[in-house]
């Protein structure tokens, strides 16, 4: 799995003009799944991400986690994270998981986050979505389950 993580002050995702997910302070996660990802990958990232110390403490040092600050998550499926642009002008998405596999891993990931007591909002898997956020910092990281 590959996730682009952005610390945000607020964020929302809309599908066909309707808000499907909205958060205040927390993280926006663009979540990509590749063909060899398993539930273990989802579990690894569902443990890693909420515990990353990327929120500032009173001394403006990144010492606090999402769990420490009571933050929320907006999780958006994003198969294009596995787009390969090394050859030609059109990205190849051969490394992205098939939708029937990807949705299972994506749903497992979100469920595991919710089991930690985190508010998790989402878009609609496979839909054309508009994502708006106010990036805080900005802080943007790429987190992967594979070395």
By three-state DSSP, how is residue 41 classified? helix
108 is known as an active-site residue: no
Read off the pLDDT of residues 74-116 as tens digits, 9 standing for 90 and up: 999 999 999 999 999 999 999 999 999 999 999 999 999 999 9
84 with 90: CB under 8 angstroms? no
State the pLDDT at residue 147.
64
Domain count, the chain: 1
d(CA 81, CA 39): 19
Query: What's the average model confidence in pLDDT over 35-43?
Result: 97
Which parts of the chain are beta strand (E)? 2-15, 18-23, 26-32, 55-56, 62-64, 72-77, 120-122, 130-144
74 with 13: CB under 8 angstroms? yes
d(CA 21, CA 2): 21
State the pLDDT at residue 140.
97
Find the CATH number of the domain harbouring 33. 3.50.80.10
State the pLDDT at residue 84.
95
Containing structural domain, residue 94: 2-144
Please identify which of the residues 20, 24, 80, 134 carries the catalytic annotation: 80
Read off the pLDDT of residues 106-144 as tens digits, 9 standing for 90 and up: 999 999 999 999 999 999 999 999 999 999 999 999 999
Provide, rounded to the nearest whole percent, the portion of the chain with pLDDT above 90.
98
């Amino acid at each position: 799995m590959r996730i682009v993580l952005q610390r945000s002050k607020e964020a929302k995702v809309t599908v066909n003009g309707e808000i499907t997910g909205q958060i205040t302070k927390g993280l926006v996660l663009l979540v990509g799944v590749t063909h060899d990802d398993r539930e273990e990958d989802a579990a690894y990232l569902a443990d890693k991400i909420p515990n990353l110390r990327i929120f500032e403490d009173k001394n403006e040092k990144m010492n606090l986690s999402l769990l420490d600050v009571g933050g929320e998550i907006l999780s958006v499926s994003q198969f294009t994270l596995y787009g390969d642009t090394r050859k030609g002008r059109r990205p190849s998405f051969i490394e992205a998981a098939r939708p029937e596999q990807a949705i299972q891993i994506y749903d497992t990931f979100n469920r595991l986050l919710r089991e930690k007591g985190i508010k998790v909002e989402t878009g609609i898997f496979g839909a054309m979505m508009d994502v708006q956020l106010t990036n805080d910092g900005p802080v943007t990281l790429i987190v992967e389950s594979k070395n």
